[in-house]
Structure formats: structure tokens, C-alpha cells
Structure 1
């Protein structure tokens, strides 16, 4: 194994197990520094002189440069078992991921890196859904930046064909149910995820009106992390309150998919609401909401939850081949 591949694999596996972003960054920085190394063995002292390389990453470089598997990587691989039990058949049927972020907003990696990783995981397509402008804390994209991103996605697709990275956005649902981006520009995108990110404790009747208005907008394809909850730890946050039956009935009527968000700290919707959405006749989208390459493997979490709720594969948008997916989003 050569050093860059070893360092990038370590970073991926650390992201997969939700390690500290600072720890991951050390390995990605070292991988960038190691790209200029000549072939052949490199001693630890020489590796440590590379910019941004510390003692641990220097050791990895030295061990990998001899063709072996570094000990640090071997330990990660030994504990990198299945992320969840159940849902294996659904995971095998998935063709893509409808919700992921790059370093254009609050993700940590370039667009091309996210796309290459999605392809390496077996996806035929994936949708880039960086945030809309009002979410300034996440460096949401203005209309001008979104247009520039569309051009960059086209460049990535030229390099990675036949894999296809689709243009998209995670668009804030405004207080009145409107969308946080120019609708003419939204109409140019392949897929729109709409999510509530503000005033999550809004009074239930108003929140219901807000969400129903958004999912009835013909530009919206997926309702993202519908309760907005966070589970466990210091960042725990209660669910938003709304009339789930009214929202899911609107989703079913308009063909808007209810997202089963795979992030471990979200697990959104809760299981009882997945069951309500299934009963209402909704489509689903099992999405990682990945902010780093290794998190693209988190679909296993959502597939296990979908399978436990009895969601059949033919009700999951991610199982659609590319042309069928685009036909659905352009309905």
C-alpha cells in the first residue's frame, strides 16, 4: 500500500466511525503532503519533515512506503465491521444518495472527493445538496455561488462518467413555507431537499402550515430530517411539534419523499413517524446527510431503520436508476 492511499483510507474509516474532525484532518493534510513523495521507502524522520505531518502520520507514511499495511490502519480495519444489523437487502438495492454536503457549505471535503467516494461505495449517482443562503453559519450558497457550483459539478461529471453527480440543494423552509432560494434557479437543479433549520420550536399549527406549504411546492422533491431532533449528548434537541398526518398526507399527495436521515445524532424521523409516513402512502429517501467522505457509508443506519419499519424497496427513491430518478424529480 502506498502512503497517500493509506492516509486517505484511515481518514475515511475515522469519518465512518464519527471521529473528531480535527483528527481526520490530520490524516487528510498528511495525504496531501505525501503526494509529492518519490516511490520507495521513506524513513519516519524524512516523512516528519513534510508540511503538516506529525509523528503519527509520519509513522503511517514510513510503514506504507515499504508496501505494507500501517499498524494504525490495520487497527481501524479490524474494528470496521457492519455499522448496523438489518436492512442489508435494501442497502444492496440503493443506487444513490439524495443528500450530501461539500466544502462549498459546511462539509469538509471538495466536491470531487465526495463524488469519487460515492462512486467507490457502488453508487451510480449522488446528489450534491449544499445549504441555501439564509443558513450563514453553514456558509449557505448565494444564487451566484450556486450557479458556479453547477458549473463545477459539470466538470466533475466529465471526469467521473458514467457515475453522475446531480445538482441539488438543501433549501431552508422559511417561516411561511416559502423556499430560501430563487425559484427559477431551483427549477434548474436536479433535486431539491427542503428542511426546517430555524424556529424549530414554532407553535405546532404554524409549523404544520409551514411544512405543508413547502412539500406542496412542485420544486421540492424530499422533505429533510422532518422533526429536526438531535439525540444524545450535549447537543440533544427535542422534536419539532406538528401534525404528522397532515404533513405526510401532503407528501403522499405530491410525491414528495420523506427523508430517513442516516446521521447517528439525528435518526430522523423517529420510528413511530416512519410508520405513520408508510401508512400515509409516502415515498422515502434514505440519505446520509454526509458532511465528510466516510459518512457516505452511513446509509446502513437508515436502511436498518427502514427495514425494521417494513418500508419496501419500491417505496425508496434511492433505488431508482438515474433516468427514473430524474423523471420523478421533474414530475
Structure 2
């Protein structure tokens, strides 16, 4: 599975809460053998993560365009993205017009994680019905007590409660992808839920590092191991596809 991956669809930089610069993350992704990387810094309401306002995101898009101009002919490209917050009512934390300009949109729940099961299910399904969302990020929101760097271990956070069958059916029905988040403090969805997801006809996946620093790009191997253990075939993973195939898929559901 790791050899089949051609890109990473969820990567942060110091424009939001990442520890390394955009040029450093791009260079490391290229050196890792990828064909592309999607830059997905946070959206504005996640202030604790220095989420990008519309104005700052537009500035970043200009920087990415300049980088792509400089990479012409190398076979590597940077795709324009965002990790947009899924708000309590299921709407997305950025203007539809700006989301429509992006190549890949990861949507994640970062707030009100203890919502009632029914309300959380409706929240996620509504987000998946939004034509601008492409990938549902770290679906349970859980955190595991694992040290991700030398400084500290994360505090355990239980998974959110939602109807996994309904959410996974919505992912498939709307031609979206479910993220297999590779961070060792997330490993989301949990193994039992991941196996359930692989049994849903037509459900696609994205194996993403959710890297916030250069060294974390290597975390893709964790997700690949879990995907293989769950019996997932590489062709169902959108970032085993070429950049053109990925972009065509993202455009096909209206975003």
C-alpha cells in the first residue's frame, strides 16, 4: 500500500499550527517520492490552530501558484486545499466561493465532540452532502495517549458517538472519501470501525499523514499497515491515483 501511494492529502504548515514552513513541507514531500502534496491548513474558526481567514488563504494560494510555477517540468505539484471545520449545524467554515477554488477539501469535526449521537450523525451527513467537501477527516475525533514528539504525550480523548453505518453510507452515496488518519495519537477510524467501512460498497478512502512537521510525513506507513490489515485494496484509496485522477474525482461531485 505504501508503495502505491502517490500523494498525501492532509498536510499542515506554519501558516496555521504546523511546525515547519510551506517550502520545507513541500520539499520533504517531493523527496519522499510523492507526485503531489495537498496543503490543508486550518479554517478560521479554529483560532487555537491559527486558522486561515479568507484573506490569508488567498495569500497562501498565491504562494502555492508561485511554487508550482517554479516546479514546472519536475513532475511534482502542490495542490490547493484546506482542513475546513465542520460546524455544529453541518456547514463548512469557509465561503462556498473560496472552497470552490480549492483542489481538495478535507472536512473535520474539531468542536462539540460530545454531541448527542443523532445530532452528530446529522452534522456529519449534512457536511458530506456539501459538494465542496471531498474527504471526511479523522471521523471519530479520538485522541490516544501517545507521544508524537519529544516534548509530551497527548491526553486521551474518547471517540465521538455517531451512527457509523449512516455516515459511511453517506460517504459512499456522495462519492466522497473516508480518511484513514495516520497520526499515532489518532489512528482514526479505530480498527473495528475501519473494517466496517471497508465492507461498504463503493466507499473510497484517503490515507493521510495529517503531518504538522517534516518528520511526520513518514507517518503514512502507520495508516498503510492498518489499511492492509483491514483488507483494503489500493485502488479504493484516492491518493494512490494520479493528480489528474484525483482532481477529476474531486470535481465530479460538484466542488
- Which TM class, normalised by the smaller chain length? over 0.9
Match of 2:22 among 101, 111, 117: 111
Structure 1 residue 231: Cα displacement: 1.0
Structure 1 residue 156: Cα displacement: 1.4
Q: Is the 8 A contact 1:193 1:220 kept in 2?
A: yes
Aligned match of 2:220: 299
Q: Is the 8 A contact 2:154 2:185 kept in 1?
A: no
Aligned match of 1:134: 45
- The 5 Å alignment of 1:6-17 reads none
Aligned match of 1:79: none
Aligned match of 1:120: 31
User: Is the helix fraction higher in 1 or 2?
Assistant: 1
Structure 1 residue 240: Cα displacement: 0.1
Match of 2:239 among 314, 318, 324: 318
Per-residue CA distance 1:152-197 (angstroms, 9 max, x = gap): 0011112233311100000000001000000110000000000000
How many residues get paired?
Answer: 242
CA distance in 2, matches of 1:181, 1:250: 22
SS across alignment from 1:310 = coil
SS across alignment from 1:330 = helix
Aligned match of 1:309: 230
Aligned match of 2:109: 196
Call closer, same or farther: CA 1:234–1:130 in 2, change over 3 Å.
Answer: closer
1:264 matched to 2:184? yes
Aligned match of 1:102: 13
Aligned match of 2:83: 170
SS across alignment from 2:160 = coil
Q: Is the 8 A contact 1:229 1:237 kept in 2?
A: yes
Match of 2:174 among 254, 263, 268: 254
CA distance in 1, matches of 2:34, 2:154: 34
SS across alignment from 1:219 = coil
CA distance in 2, matches of 1:224, 1:215: 11
- The 5 Å alignment of 1:1-331 reads 90-161=1-72, 162-232=75-145, 235-281=155-201, 282-331=203-252
CA distance in 2, matches of 1:223, 1:273: 14
SS across alignment from 2:101 = coil
CA distance in 2, matches of 1:154, 1:113: 16
Instruction: Name stretches of at least 5 consecutive residues in structure 1 with no aligned partner.
Output: 1-89
Structure 1 residue 278: Cα displacement: 1.1
What TM-score, normalized to structure 2?
Answer: 0.93
Q: Is the 8 A contact 1:116 1:160 kept in 2?
A: no
Instruction: Name stretches of at least 5 consecutive residues in structure 2 with no aligned partner.
Output: 146-152
CA-atom RMSD, angstroms? 0.8
Of structures 1 and 2, the one with the larger relative CO (CA 8 A, separation 6+) is: 2
